[in-house]
Amino acid sequence: MATEAPSLPRRRSPGLPSGARGLAGSALMIVLTFVVWEIVVRATGTPSYVLPAPSSILSTADWTLVLEAARATALSVVAGFAVGNAAGLVLALLISASPVLAALLYPFALTLRAIPIVALAPFITLAFGRGTASTVVVAALIVFFPTLVNVLLGLRSVEREALELMHVLDCGPLTVYWRARLPAAMPAFFDAMRIAAPAAVLGVMTAEWVIGGDGLGKLVISSALALESERMWAAILTSTVLAGLVFALVTVAERRLLRWVTRS
């Protein structure tokens, strides 16, 4: 009776690592988007005040002013992103640890999330004034609820066998959270932060428009009113780059810190 030869491990074909391939693919799509944008604008003769060509944006926009505004927006985004995600994580831990706190805090968080930011703007302005502090608060309010919901789901996704093992080992509540629940919630936490990255940028820009600030949100509105189309689009594209950078930093941090998680 013939025996089958043992199968050899399949060799991985040479090429770029998955992360590098994804980065290269994203860069290629961005370049293609700008090329198509340039061609369509030139071919259709679209006026610059409607939609300027990318080459016109690069050559005409006041990039010194745009980068100064981007710096102000970036500071508010980073601060609001950090505060909002930290608040969501802590609130999720408190809600999952106590049914009493869950009954008190979760409805309050849900109600706060349901109120439009524009409606809260007067109260935020009265409490924090106009400027950076108010934009940070707005960004934090937008960011914290997705983090709260995702981390709660992660904390409750621990397998029953792991909890039973903790009970057999006579582990206390803090040990259960530290060894089982918190590691289980970390992938969901990073997913929430990726979702929050563009939301934080949008929140800061909205606050700069509604409440006041010196960042990209104010620059977009002032440029539109002054019919400075190239400068307006330069600010919009810069905000997109800023959101992409925050998203990329979260992804890199996840790959560094959560090596046990298998991503497809």
Q: How far apart are CA 185 and CA 178, in angstroms?
A: 11
Q: Which residues of 243-262 are buried (b: 16+ CB within 10 A; e: fewer)?
A: beebbeebbeebeeeeeeee
Output the pLDDT for position 233: 92
Residue 222, Cβ density class (10 Å: 0-12 exposed, 13-18 middle, ≥19 buried): middle
- Region 23-43: what's the mean pLDDT? 82
Which CA distances in Å does 82 have to 14, 87, 170, 195?
39, 8, 35, 14
**Average pLDDT value over all residues in the chain:** 80
Helix axes of 229-257 and 63-97: crossing angle, nearest 10 degrees: 40
All residues at 6 or more sequence positions from 151 whose CB lies less than 8 Å from its CB, including other chains: 88, 89, 92, 93, 185, 188, 189, 192
Domains of the chain: 67-256 (1.10.3720.10)
Question: For residue 17, how many other CB atoms are within 10 A of its CB?
Answer: 8
All residues at 6 or more sequence positions from 37 whose CB lies less than 8 Å from its CB, including other chains: 53, 54
Verdict on whether the full-model pTM lies above 0.75: yes
Output the pLDDT for position 9: 44
- Flag whether pLDDT at 14 surpasses 70: no
Output the pLDDT for position 261: 54
Residue pLDDT, tens place only, 86-127: 998 888 888 887 788 888 888 888 887 788 877 888 888 888
- Flag whether pLDDT at 2 surpasses 80: no
Phi/psi at 115 (5° precision)? -80, 130
Question: For residue 62, how many other CB atoms are within 10 A of its CB?
Answer: 15
- Region 130-146: what's the mean pLDDT? 86
Identify the CA nearest to 56 among candidates 79, 83, 37.
Answer: 37
- Flag whether pLDDT at 157 surpasses 80: no
Q: How far apart are CA 157 and CA 159, in angstroms?
A: 6
Output the pLDDT for position 163: 65
Residue pLDDT, tens place only, 159-204: 776 666 666 666 767 777 777 777 778 888 888 888 888 888 988 8
All residues at 6 or more sequence positions from 192 whose CB lies less than 8 Å from its CB, including other chains: 85, 88, 146, 147, 149, 150, 151
- Flag whether pLDDT at 10 surpasses 80: no
SS3 of 261, please? Answer: coil
- Flag whether pLDDT at 45 surpasses 60: yes
Q: Dmax over Cα atoms in the chain, in whole Å?
A: 87
Output the pLDDT for position 235: 92
> Residues 142, 145, 151, CA angle at the centre, nearest 5°?
140
